[in-house]
Chain A
Amino acid sequence: MSALVEIRNLSKVYERGKQKVEVLHHIDLDIAKGDFFALMGPSGSGKTTLLNLIGGLDSPTEGSMTVGGERIDKLSEGALAKWRSSHVGFVFQFYNLLPMLSAQKNVELPLLLTKLSAAERKKRAGIALQLVGLADRASHKPTELSGGQQQRVAIARAIVSDPDLLVCDEPTGDLDRQSAEDVLNLLQMLNRDHGKTIIMVTHDPKAAEHARHTLHLDKGTLVEQTTVA
C-alpha cells in the first residue's frame, strides 16, 4: 500500500507565555492508504497534537507533512481550510454536534462548502445517516439522541463528503462499553469496506485492538509501533 501520510522530522513547539514547550520531537511516520492506526500514550505525550497536525488543524514548527501528495505544512490558512473540507473527516470525543441543528442538518454541514444543490445535500446526508444506522433519527436534535447515537451522527458528518482520511480523537472516551463497541465496529467497517484511512487517538487498549496498527507516543517521541493480530 502507498503512503497516504508522510511525516518527516516533525516537531511542534508551543509557546506558553515565556516558556517554550516542545510537544513533538523529530517524528518520522508513514501511514499507508487504507490503514487503521491507533495512537496511544500517556496524557501529554503529544497524541492529540500529532492528530491535529495530520488533520491540518495546526501547523508544525519544523519538518514536513505530506498527506495525499499535498504538502499541507506549506498551505496557507485558507487553503488548509479548503483542503480539510474535502480530504479529512473529524470525529471528536464529545461529538461536537451543533445542538440547534437536526442530525440531518449536522451531517449536511460539510456539504454546504460544496456546490451541491439542497436536494443533493439532503440525499447524501441521508445516505451517510443510513450507513451509520440512524436514518430514522434524521430529524432528531442532538439532545434527543444518546451519546452513542450522537457519535454515529458525528461519524456520518465526517464521512459525508467522502474524505480519504478520518481522524478520531478519543471517539469512545465518553461512551459506555456497548456504545463504544458499536462506534469502533462502525469505524472498522468504514476502514474495511470503504477503504477509509483512520487515525484514532485512544487511551483504551480494547479500542486500540480494533485498529490494524498501534503507535505509542511518549514525551513527544514515537516509542513503539505494533501490528494488531
Chain B
Amino acid sequence: MKYFHLIWAALFRRKTRTIFTLLSVLAAFLLFGMLDAVRSAFNAPPSAAGVSRLVVSSRISIIQPLPQSLLTRIQALPGVKDVAYANWFGGYYQEPKNQNLMFQIAVDPNYLDAYPELVLPADQRKAFNETRTGAILGEAAAKALNLKIGDKIPIKGAIFTNKASGDTTWTFDIVGIFKAAEDKQRGQENQMLFRWDYFDEGRTFGNGTIGWYIARVNDPNDSDKVAAAIDALSANSDHETKTQTEQAFQLAFVKQLGDIGLIVGAIMAAVFFTLILLTGNTMAQAVRERIPELAVLKTIGFSNKSVLGLVLAEAILLIVLGGVLGLLLAQVLLPAVNAGSGGRMNFPPIGGSTWTLGIALMLGIGLVVGVLPALRGMRLRIVDALAGR
C-alpha cells in the first residue's frame, strides 16, 4: 500500500489520456455487465414458481402451431383458472419500419381477462366483442402511428393471406384504445389486438390451430406443477408443448435469432480485444514517456522486480478502476432498462458470478496490457535511460 500514491500519481500523470482510457474501459465493462445479464436471462433454469400466468407453446418451436383441441383439455386440468389463446400476425401499418411500433396479435374473447393489466373502457370492450373486424390498440402504438377510434386501417401481413382480399392485406376497424395499468407495463401498449374469428376464418392455411395458449392458475405456488401437467397432456404426441413463464416465452422469441450465448460471447470477445489493443497502446506510450523516471527509481534503489510490479499494478489499477465503474453503472442501468421495457424484459441484477468473472477479466486484461511495458521498464539500463539512449 505504501506504493499506492506512486502508482496513482503515475496513472494520472496525463489526466486527459487516462480519463479517456478509463471511459473506454468503463464502456467495455458496462457492456459486459449488460450482456452478461442478457446471457444469464437466457440461461436461467426454467421455473414457473410464483407465477400466476403461464404460456403454452410448441416444444419444437414457437412458430409451430398447436391444435385447438388442447383448449378444453387444459381448461379441465386441476389448478387451471382459465385459458386464453393467441396467434402472432407479424404485419405492419403503412411502412415496414412501423413494424416495431405496433405488434399485431389475433386473440380470443377471453384474452383481455387473462391480461387485466390492459385497461380498456367497458364500452370499447363491448364494441370489440361486437365488431368482427374490430381491433384495439395500445395507447403508445396509437400515439406513435397517429391512429384513433373510428379509423379503418389496412395492415400488410408477413405470412397470412386474406381470403377476402386475395393478398396479405387485412383491414381493421379501430374500436378501442387500451392503456397499461402501471408504467412498468407500458411496453405492452405497443400492441394491436384483433379478433381471432376474423383472423381464423379469413386465413388461407392453418385454420383451427393456435399459436400459443395463456393459462392462468389458481395458486401461483402450484405453477410448476400445473405447467408439468399441461405438458403431460401432449407428451409423446406430434404437438408436444412447452409451458413456461411469459418472460421465458418472450426470450424464446428472441432466441430464434440464434445462439444468444455465442452472440454475446462474440461481441464481448471483440470488445475486449479492442480494449486490450487500446489500453495496451496507452500503457506502452505512458511507460515510454516515463523511461527516465523509471530509471531514476532504479537509480535510488528500486529493484527490477519493484519496477515491474509498479508498472503492472498501474495497468491493473487502470482496468480495475474503469471496470468496476462500468459494472456499477450497469448495475444501476439494468433496473432502468427493465422498467423501460414496460415489463417485457426482466434481466436479472448483476450478481456475484458476474462480479467474479468481471474482476477476473479486469485482472487478466490488466496483466496482458501491462506485461510488455512492465518488462520494458524492468529491463531498462539505468545509464542508457538517463543518457536518453
Contact = CB atoms under 8 A, between A and B. Distances in A.
Interface in B335-389: 382-383, 386
Given A105-B5, A113-B302, A118-B2, A100 B383 contact: no
A182 interface: no
Contact of A110 (B13, B292, B293, B301): B301
Interface residues of B, number: 23
A145 interface: no
Given A101-B9, A105-B5, A112-B6, A84 B300 contact: yes
A109 B300 contact: yes
A96 B2 contact: no
Main secondary structure of the interface of A (DSSP, over half): helix
Interface residues of A, number: 26
A82 B305 CA distance: 12
B205 interface: no
A99 B300 contact: no
Contacts of B382: 52, 57-58
B298 interface: yes
Contact of A81 (B3, B6, B13, B298): B298
B131 interface: no
A96 B383 contact: no
A98 B298 CA distance: 13
Interface string A82-117: 101110001010001011110001000110110000
Contacts of B298: 81
Interface in A39-60: 49, 52, 55, 57-58
B304 A77 contact: yes
Contacts of B303: 77-78, 81-82
Nearest to A89: B300
Interface of A: 49, 52, 55, 57-58, 77-78, 81-82, 84-86, 90, 92, 96, 98-101, 105, 109-110, 112-113, 118, 157
Interface of B: 2-3, 5-6, 9-10, 12-13, 292-293, 296-305, 382-383, 386
Ranked 10 nearest A-B pairs via Cβ? A85-B301, A100-B9, A100-B13, A96-B296, A81-B303, A84-B301, A110-B300, A57-B382, A58-B383, A113-B301
